[in-house]
Chain A
Amino acid sequence: MKRKVVAFVSSMLLCLTSAVSFAAETIKIGALYPMSGRGGLYGQDSEAAIKIALAEVNAKGLPGGKKLDVIVTDDQSKPALAVTLAKRYITEDKVKFLYGVVSSGAALAVTEVSKEYKTIFVGTDHAATDLTANAFQKYYFRVSNNTYQSMAAGALYMKDEMKGAKKIAYIGPDYAYGRDQIAELKYSLGKLGVQYEMVGEFWPKLYEPDYTSYITAIIKAQPDVLVSGFWGGDTVAFIKQAKAYGLFKKMKYFHPDGGGNYEVFSTLGAECPEGLIMSARHHNNWPETKENKDFVAKFKKATGRYPSYAAEGAYAGILAIAEAIKKVGNADDTEALIKAMEGMKVRLPEDPKGFASYIDPKTHQMVQAQAIGVTVKNDKFAPAKYMLGKFKVYPADKIMPTQEYIDILIKTKKK
């Protein structure tokens, strides 16, 4: 009676156990990205950027004539699934690197796998500072900004450019990403000796469809500046709903981590208000270097659209891995690869002239400059009608998390 079931299940299990062949010429990288749902665009953009980077590094060649190969699987941004897939990558697909991950919760789980299996994990898109601070382990590297870097740059911007803004309100999604941002901004403002008063903190749930009641409450609190910690569709929904209430005429809107992501502008189109102060981990129109223009043009050619910032992180990681392999001469000596990556410089699309991003040897965080801009009319990147302009650039070494802050994290969040 149960025989059929047994046969079915065991044949399925056999499918799993049958070893996957691994060719000697390729060095495998196992990437995890969400491919559907709210983070799906970042996964798709990352995959496209990975292909561009692979074409570049494989054309240049790696030691021993090897080639890099990336497997991408949908982790649905679920920590448990991400762990399962990461373990499968290591034990079955024999990948040398774990890669990607958009959700910080999933990344915190995957970094444990990386530590347990002594496999390097290159993070490209998750921003939780914890990974390079209290949850740091030596097999982890991050090639995109963390929220601390964005918020430290934001604090500098507030100090220099927004001198009259004393009353601050905050709205951000009610989870770690939203909470970390305001904590880091407060810490950085305190370090700079900026005087301010918090007049309200608002915590809608992630993917909240309707912000109307929050908007009226914020207007009632009468802040000089509203700091925002949304990402993706939530940013767009909030801006559209707030605009109808005239919120942007009543206060400054300041969104230093995820606000200036390209897909926000392309979705808002002509509805984007002018004068919003925003930033992102990568801008399609800044810096105007050859590297950035080439990257954006290649992405547009490959996909028909301009990239969100997730793409540049995914591109950067492949360049970094290739560079490290070149330095070591092979991809088998993990410890040597770690040594090679510590302090390594990689010239990236987001680097302004005369600067190359480098990996901080102590925390394995990529040290990068941050540019904060203001929304202005610009239709060179259709369908966006507004882009950031009037950039203020904050040098990389001024916005890295301080040891003091890392100690605070270790103390409050344990490990």
Chain B
Amino acid sequence: MKTKLTEMAPWLAYFVIFVSMIFAGSDHSIHVASQIIILGLFAIAFNVLFGTTGLLSFGQAIFYGLGAYITGMMAKSFGADFFLWALLIAPVAALALSAVLGVLSLRLSEVYFTMLTLAFAQLAWGICVKWSSFTGGDDGIQAIPKPDILNMGGRNYYIFALVIVSICIYLLWRLDRSPFGSVLKGIRQNPIRISFIGLNVFRHKLFAYMISSSFTAIAGGLYAGIDKSIHPDMLVWTMSGSIILMTILGGMRSFFGPLIGVAVFILLEDVIGRSTEYWSFVIGIIMITVVLLFPKGIVGVSRHFAGLFAKKGGQFDNP
């Protein structure tokens, strides 16, 4: 019963924060919150690969961009009503692409896998920039239409995105706790043992890669609706890189860690960017502090303090 409660606590916090944003938030905070949940989905999906399975892909932006471009270009060509359909097509396309790229890259070990995923993503980015007659090149695509009901201010779209993101995160959460999730964790810790049990390590890695990629594409598709504009920036290596950073910063061993990393990163950029142009210096210092003092990421910070409080509580109980 108690474990159940601690398992549900993050969900409770998640809903309290993000649902309250619907009512309390100003236009700007709703915009920021939309970015947090969408990039948060990206990061949590990425962590299925990284934190759970132990595969560091440096090219997940390819699927984020794929989702965004499928959604953006379809809505642009076939009209606003197609926006929702495109959101369904995006993960299917990502599933197909990731199957091909996964078969090619998952044969490689560790760093080489990382670099091959980076190369694929960079190639895709290059094509996206160069094939401007089709993709709009580096100017991106603007004025992406979406159904009227999602159009009124940022609030409606936020609610829409929150529903979809929450469903996706819930599915990933169930996956994390399923036998399949345990196999993935086993692959990270000891792949040989997994193959001794008679399970196919490669196939499980491939499934993890495909699942992660298709949820990433949903995040990309959702992003196309926030700003109504998309850019090749969404495919470039720094996009993949910042998701990796946010995930580690938040805590890659915790299911919600990546989401917390995303939230902290975006809020820091917003708050620090207002007061100084040296924001990247400040973020760098914070990152170093977290690395040196809190090896478990920000989740570790909170657990650290929670531990302190628990101790205090213990003393209090003792007369």
- CB interface residues, B 114-150, toward A, < 8 Å: 129-130, 132-133, 136-140, 142-143
- CB interface residues, B 1-53, toward A, < 8 Å: 6, 9-10, 13, 16-17, 20-21, 24-29, 31-33, 35
Interface contact A15-B231, CB-CB below 8 Å: no
Complex Cα distance, B6 from A1, in Å, reads: 8
Which residues of the other chain, A, contact B129 by a CB distance below 8 angstroms? 174-175
Given contacts A5-B302, A79-B231, contact A87 B273 (CB under 8 A): no
Say yes or no for A60: interface residue by CB 8 A criterion: no
Given contacts A9-B17, A17-B24, contact A135 B142 (CB under 8 A): yes
* Segment at the interface with B among A105-113, A242-250, A308-316, A319-327: A105-113
Interface contact A13-B17, CB-CB below 8 Å: yes
- Tell which of B20, B229, B274 touches A109, judged by Cβ atoms closer than 8 Å: B229
A1-31 interface bits toward B, Cβ cutoff 8 Å, 1 = contact, 0 = none: 1111110111011011101000000000000
Complex Cα distance, B137 from A412, in Å, reads: 13
Say yes or no for B248: interface residue by CB 8 A criterion: no
- Tell which of A6, A36, A112 touches B280, judged by Cβ atoms closer than 8 Å: A36
Interface contact B139-A415, CB-CB below 8 Å: no
Interface contact A1-B270, CB-CB below 8 Å: no
A175-197 interface bits toward B, Cβ cutoff 8 Å, 1 = contact, 0 = none: 11001000000000000000000
Interface contact B227-A5, CB-CB below 8 Å: no
Interface contact B302-A109, CB-CB below 8 Å: no
- Tell which of B25, B76, B130, B301 touches A17, judged by Cβ atoms closer than 8 Å: B25
Say yes or no for B66: interface residue by CB 8 A criterion: no
Say yes or no for A130: interface residue by CB 8 A criterion: yes
Say yes or no for B279: interface residue by CB 8 A criterion: yes
- Tell which of B13, B139, B298 touches A105, judged by Cβ atoms closer than 8 Å: B139
How far, in Å, is B141 (CB) from chain A's closest CB?
Answer: 9
User: How many A-B Cβ pairs are below 8 Å?
Assistant: 139
Interface contact B35-A84, CB-CB below 8 Å: yes
B interface SS class: helix
- What is the number of residues of chain A that contact chain B, defined by CB distance less than 8 Å? 50
Complex Cα distance, B5 from A2, in Å, reads: 12
Complex Cα distance, B28 from A17, in Å, reads: 8
Residues of chain A at the chain B interface (Cβ within 8 Å):
1-6, 8-10, 12-13, 15-17, 19, 35-36, 73-74, 78-81, 83-85, 87-88, 90-92, 104-105, 108-109, 111-113, 116, 128, 130, 135, 174-176, 179, 412-415
25 intermolecular pairs with C-beta atoms under 8 Å apart = A1-B9, A2-B9, A3-B306, A5-B298, A5-B299, A12-B271, A13-B17, A13-B33, A13-B267, A17-B25, A36-B280, A73-B274, A74-B279, A79-B229, A79-B231, A80-B234, A83-B229, A87-B27, A87-B28, A87-B31, A90-B27, A112-B228, A112-B229, A128-B139, A179-B132
